[in-house]
């Protein structure tokens, strides 16, 4: 069981599904939405992601996707791509134990910040995994 939540504790979630596609995304939208040089994500089936407390606030971060965050503290929590309604991406570092699910690669490295030097030995994809 994966458990996590926001910084202030208002939103808590769980997922019993096996997570897949743990990654670090370097796209400009993830960077702006988080205020960080990249965001680590993992994916679970939407039907297996359950809020235990609180409610997500949402905003459309692009014409193709919606992001969920805590309405009280602003912690970014989810990413939902319109074309894949059966899955949801969840921020890895909102997990109670983020070390349990390390990223396996880096995506959208064609737009990563120039001062970041990656030395973790993980594969890099200039765009998403399926497009390179």
pLDDT cut 70: percent of the chain above it: 98
DSSP string, 74-123: --EEEEEETT-TTEEEEEGGGBS-GGGS--S-EE-GGGS-TT----S---
Q: Is the pTM of this model over 0.75?
A: yes
Question: In the chain, where are the structural domains located?
Answer: 2-131
Polymer length in residues for the chain: 132
* Domain boundaries 2-131, corresponding CATH code: 2.170.150.70
Sheet containing 106-107: which strands, arranged edge to edge?
57-62, 65-69, 76-81, 87-91, 39-45, 20-25, 106-107, 124-125
pLDDT in tens, 19-69: 999 999 999 999 999 999 999 999 999 999 999 999 999 999 999 999 999
Task: Give the pLDDT score at 132.
Answer: 42
């Amino acid at each position: 069981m994966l458990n996590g939540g926001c910084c202030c504790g208002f939103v808590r979630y769980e997922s019993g599904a096996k997570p897949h596609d743990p990654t670090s995304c370097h796209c400009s939208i993830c960077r702006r939405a988080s205020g960080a040089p990249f965001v680590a994500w993992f994916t679970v089936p939407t039907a297996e992601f359950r809020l235990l407390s609180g409610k997500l606030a949402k905003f459309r971060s692009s014409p193709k996707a919606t992001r969920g965050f805590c309405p009280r503290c602003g912690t970014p929590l989810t990413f939902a791509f319109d074309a894949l309604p059966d899955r949801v991406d969840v921020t890895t570092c909102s997990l109670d134990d983020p070390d349990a699910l390390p990223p396996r690669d880096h995506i959208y490295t064609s737009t990563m910040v120039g001062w970041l030097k990656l030395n973790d030995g993980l594969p890099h994809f200039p765009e998403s995994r399926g497009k390179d």
